Structures are given as C-alpha cells and as structure tokens.
Structure 1
C-alpha cells in the first residue's frame, strides 16, 4: 500500500548551522516541499545579509531535493524601510520573549513596547509567529501568555498571528474566538505527555519547550488535528542538539523528530481512521491560511516496516529504536 501526499509543508523547523545543518536538513527536504525556518541562531537572523547567507546555506544542504525554505526574521523593533526591503525575502517574523527557550536571550523583554513594529507588519501583510510562554510556573506558561494573544488579535485585526507549537486545550479554545489567530502543533505534542518526559526516569530527548502537558491537553490537540481543524497547521519544531547537550546536567530543550515525521503522522492518522484529513494538516491549511503556492511536489510513503536508528551522527531522534509501519519512498 502506498500513500501520496501533495506538497506537504512543515510550518516550524529548526535547522541550526554548519555541520549540524548539513546533517539534519536532508531529512526535512526528503519529506516536505518546504518548511518555515526558525531564526534563533547565534547571532540571530535579523538583517538582510544574515538572511541571505542562511538561505544559501540551507539551499546548498537540501540541493538534491525540490525544497522551499520559508525564511523568518528574529523579532526586534524594525523600521518601515527595513521590513519593506525584506518583505519579498521573508515569510514571517518570529517573536521570542527574552530567555524563554533556546537562543532567545535577545528576545523581547517588554511586550508592551513592540506595537509600532506589529502595526508595520499588519500593514505589510507579514505574519507574526510567536513562542507564546511566560516566565511563570512551567505548566502554566502557555496559559499565562494567552491574554497577550488576545490583546494583539483585537488591536491588530488584520495581522495574521500564529501561536506556535501549542500544547494546551485552552490555546485551542482561543483559536475559535479571533479570526486572525492560527496555530501550529508538533508531532510529539500529539503523542506524549509530561509523564513520558519525567514520570519515571527522566527522558532528556523528550524535553522541549513548551514542555509536554497533561493527557487531557494531548487528547484535545490530537482530536483537533485528526478532525482537520481548519486553523491548525503541522509544525514539527524539530530541534536537534548533540547528545552531550541533551544527556547533561543542563539539558537543552528540543526534540529531533525530522527523520520520522511523515511516517509517524501517517501511522497516527491511519490508526484513528483519519487519513483523509492528513493532507490539510500537513500543508493544505497552511497554503489556504497564508496564500502559499509552493512548487508542486508529491511525497509517497509505503507500508513497509523499518527501525528508527539509535542516533543520526551525534543526535538522538524521536522514537529511537522503535519500529515504524510506514517508510518514505525515496
């Protein structure tokens, strides 16, 4: 049995730089027609030169595949000339509250001061992507950020705001209240809960931000994805770290899921008899919401089992050692 997906997209992807990028980028390019590339490097992608050099590095690493990198800028107070000059080179601007996750030390410290830039983005039709967490108690951080989304949605009704990698039922509820709010969700947040991360022995390769939540939150996200929620898009948040940064006292946040994304998504949707809704989740909704027209591409998967390697280079993948039912047709 073969399943074909037309122009699948990953709407949230970390590729890093240098040797790490060359290792991980081909996994995404083999499965997806394009991906939204995160800008939280050191230094961040926040100017024309950095943007051009990073795009060139990605294109070189993914050259064997027809893969479209949808580039983003790291949020800072941009002026109109800068945003207008880069409008045709970027997909969106990504906002990180200061210190909230990996490489976000240069993020926004005071969220009340950024409205002039948001107004410019609204006028230019540039989407705002947000890592929406506070600095409160870890399980409450996403919920505590939801009023910020509400304020921005009301103040800038023509600004497309994407709540990135949502993890709670409360975030899903907020989607229904504002027409300009949208969301991405990851594969791992459809499958795991906090118990999988820390309920027994600590599983560092499942530690990510936002951290996995309660079973009720996981189940709400899964139900929304399976039914083809029209405002929900797949974004893997695949975020590789070398093993010495994961199995360490100061464990880095991030799940490296890129090698297994489509095989596991097909298996998940098949198990719930929802394969008809998978194309919308992995590209169709994103194209409709954002008016994207990536180059046409068909990706096929075949029902042949394979075992996920224990590691790729010095990175441990999601589902390492597990046997999956579907594999990519090269």
Structure 2
C-alpha cells in the first residue's frame, strides 16, 4: 500500500492511504438530550476537539450553563476505542445583555473558547441573538482584553436583502465596521459561502485583529443547483444557503490554498427527518459521521491532498492558540456507501449524501 505522511510533497495519483495529525472541528452542533447521546460519538471518533455551538433552547449564555452542557457532552463520549479523549471547546451565545463580567468569567474558566454572534433571526434557535452590535460595545471591549474570539454567523437579516446576498452585505455593513471599531478583536467568519468572503478574509487588514474563516465540507462539494434542480431537496437546505458554482469553486481554492486563515469547521447540524421534510424545512446538513471523508474527497478531486493536514489539523489550533494534536488518524482509499439514516429512539436523522459513493474512509 502506498501510504502518504503529510510532510511529503506529491499529487494525489496513486495514493492509497493518508495519515495526518488528528483534526479538530472548529464549528459543530451536537444538540442535547437523545440527539447528543446518539450522535456525539460520530464527532468524537473523527476529531480530537470541537468548538461547540451554543444555540440550544434555551441558549447557552453563561459560563455556568456552558459548564453544565460540557458535562453532558463528556458523559456522551465513547467509553472505549476512538473518541474517548475527545475535548469539547465551549462557547457562549452573545445577546444584547451579555455583560463584560461574564466575558471575564468565561476566559477564567479555561473551557470557554469563544463567544458566538447570531444576528437575531438568522438561523436555527437564533431568536435570542443580537439585535444591534452597538448594544454589545462594552462586551466586545472586554473580549478584546481577554482575547476571546468572536465567532460570527455572517449574514444580515434585513428582509429587503436577497437570501443569496446576505453574506456579501454582512461584510460591508457589519464585519468591516466591527473590525475597525474593535481593532484588537479576534474574529472567526464562520462557514463562509461566497467568493466575496474568501477575498475579504484572504486580504484582511493585518493591522487589525486576527481574522480566520471556517469552511464546511458540504459547501465545498455542492452548489445551489444540487438543492433546487429537479425538485427541492430539503436535506441539502442549510444556512448560509448554497450559492452559485463560482462561489463553490472559490471556496475549494481557498481550502486547498494552504492559507492559514482558512480552516475546517463542519457546521454539522442534525435535525430529525420529520422536521427537515416539513413546512418548516429546518436548516442544516448532518455530516459528523463522515466529515473527514468528505473533506478528503474534495482535496483529492482538486489534486491537493498534501494540503489537507494544514487545513484540517494545523490552521485552527494555531488561530485559537491551542497546541496541535500529537495523535494521528489515517484515511484509506476505499469506496463505501453511507447509511441513509441514523435511527434514534424510533426517529431518524438523515445523513448528508452526494450522488456518488465516497472514495475515502477513516480507518
């Protein structure tokens, strides 16, 4: 078997296996209750650490609530085999009323690693989100002092802005003024979906605070045609929504570029099948079961497997100021068919799938 260790320069032809430092997921939804218990092992078996989204009902707005949620996540880890050492990296949900004192408590906790900005009404369970960032000025100043990153869902909610333009408008209306007003603030532009976001992050003013961006596997693989042509496919509906092919191609170019500001964040977001296939049509794709395989497929098809380790394993911890993993994982070239659903207490979560089988599998 021809095995690649990521220190070797190569193109992907003829490579049968790929070993890399164990990646981390810098944006994931693991939910709570029965969903958490059933699905958390998928994330834990693939990743060493993960930034946990706080948009539960009610949202995780305090360090005390984050500690309790972290305890539930740790209880759901596998008890043997891969995933037993998985570490959840907690976040707090920013509201108009989050206090500077809470930011200091979060920093001193040692387990809270970011503060999540959901503009009110942008996505699942975002009703308690920020209505106007001006309400958060003193809190953002505290974040600058503590170096806690602000993790942003980068869309405006202005009803006159087309849903496909909300990310581009967010850059001009919110992100650029935010970075100018708080020049020491660390910001993660999460799950970017447009060429505009790629260019903004790549050419960001280095005199301002650190800026990074996560990219999901599903946005690397699909464009909006896949979701809409031949009938609406609810299990491809996510927010931010899929964009044109030109934007998908720009995301792939960014991910494989080796640029340290771009790193892995799955935004895996499970919903029960009956909620996806309903008048609600909840937003989210479930990719935690096979996320690394999806990313490997993207990098392989682009002839850039040698760049996967930086994107998946190094750029994220470097941005967050955390050590790189000394553990490793190995992906093998192997065609396999995913299950259609994950069954949970008589209900099910549909697994994100493409029209073709995966060509890589985690050993």
Structure 1-normalised TM-score?
Answer: 0.96
Q: 2:163 aligns with which of 138, 157, 160?
A: 138
* Residue aligning to 1:5: 20
How many residues in Structure 1 have an aligned counterpart in Structure 2? 329
Match of 2:106 in 1: 86
Query: Which blocks of at least 5 consecutive residues in structure 1 are unaligned?
Result: none
How far residue 111 of structure 1 moved from its aligned partner, in angstroms, is: 2.3
Compute the displacement of 1:63 (Å): 3.8
User: Any conservation in 2 of the 1:15–1:239 contact (CA below 8 Å)?
Assistant: yes
For the 8 Å contact 1:183–1:232, the answer to whether it is kept is: yes
Pairing of 1:295-310 with structure 2 (within 5 A): 296-310=326-340
Matches within 5 A, 1:220-259: 220-259=250-289
Residue in structure 2 matching 1:171, options 197, 200, 203: 197
> What is aligned with 2:137?
115
Correspondences of 1:48-87 after superposition (within 5 Å): 48-64=63-79, 65=83, 66-76=85-95, 77-87=97-107
Is the Cα–Cα contact under 8 Å of residues 100 and 134 in structure 1 kept in the other structure? Answer: yes
Question: Counterparts of 1:269 and 1:294 in 2: how far apart (Å)?
Answer: 21
Tell whether the 8 Å contact from 1:310 to 1:321 is kept in structure 2 after alignment: no
TM-score, normalisation: structure 2: 0.88
Show the counterpart of 2:10: none
Residue in structure 2 matched with residue 32 of structure 1 by the alignment: 47
1:43 is the counterpart of 2:58: yes
**Offset from partner CA, 1:198-237 (integer Å, 9 cap, x none):** 1221110000000000110100011111122221111000
Could you list the runs of 5+ residues in structure 2 that have no partner in the other structure? 1-15
**Quick one: distance in 2 between partners of 1:325 and 1:177?**
35
Alpha-carbon displacement from aligned partner over 1:24-58 (angstroms, at most 9, x marks no partner) = 11111111111100000001111133111110111
Separation in 2, partners of 1:291, 1:85? 19
Q: Would the aligned equivalents of 1:153 and 1:181 in 2 still touch at CA under 8 Å?
A: no
* Aligned residue runs from structure 1 range 159-238, under 5 A: 159-175=185-201, 176-179=203-206, 180-238=210-268
Tell me the residue number matched to 2:11: none
Query: What CA distance in whole angstroms lies between the structure 1 residues aligned with 2:38 and 2:100?
Result: 37
Q: Contact conserved, 1:165 with 1:184, CA < 8 A, in 2?
A: yes
1:97 aligns with one of 114, 119, 135: 119
Q: Secondary structure at the match of 1:263?
A: helix
Distance 1:211 1:269 in 2: 22
Aligned counterparts of 2:300 and 2:291: Cα–Cα separation in 1: 14
Query: Which residue is equivalent to 2:149?
Result: 127
Distance of 2:341 and 2:356 partners within structure 1? 12
Partners of 2:232 and 2:123 in 1: CA distance: 19
Render the CA deviation track for 1:269-296: whole Å, top value 9, x for unaligned.
1222211110111121112122112653
SS of match in other structure, 1:315: strand
Structure 1 residue 303 displacement after superposition: 1.9
Q: What secondary structure is seen at the aligned counterpart in 2 of 1:182? A: strand
Q: CA deviation at 1:320?
A: 6.5
Deviation at 1:104, TM superposition (A): 0.4
Could you say what secondary structure the match of 1:304 adopts? strand
Deviations along 1:3-42, one digit per CA (max 9) or x if unpaired, are 2120201110000001101111111111111110000000
| Aligned match of 2:349 | 315
Between stretches 174-183 and 64-73, larger displacement belongs to 174-183
Q: 140-149 vs 62-71, which deviates more?
A: 62-71
- Alpha-carbon separation, structure 2, partners of 1:134 and 1:213: 16
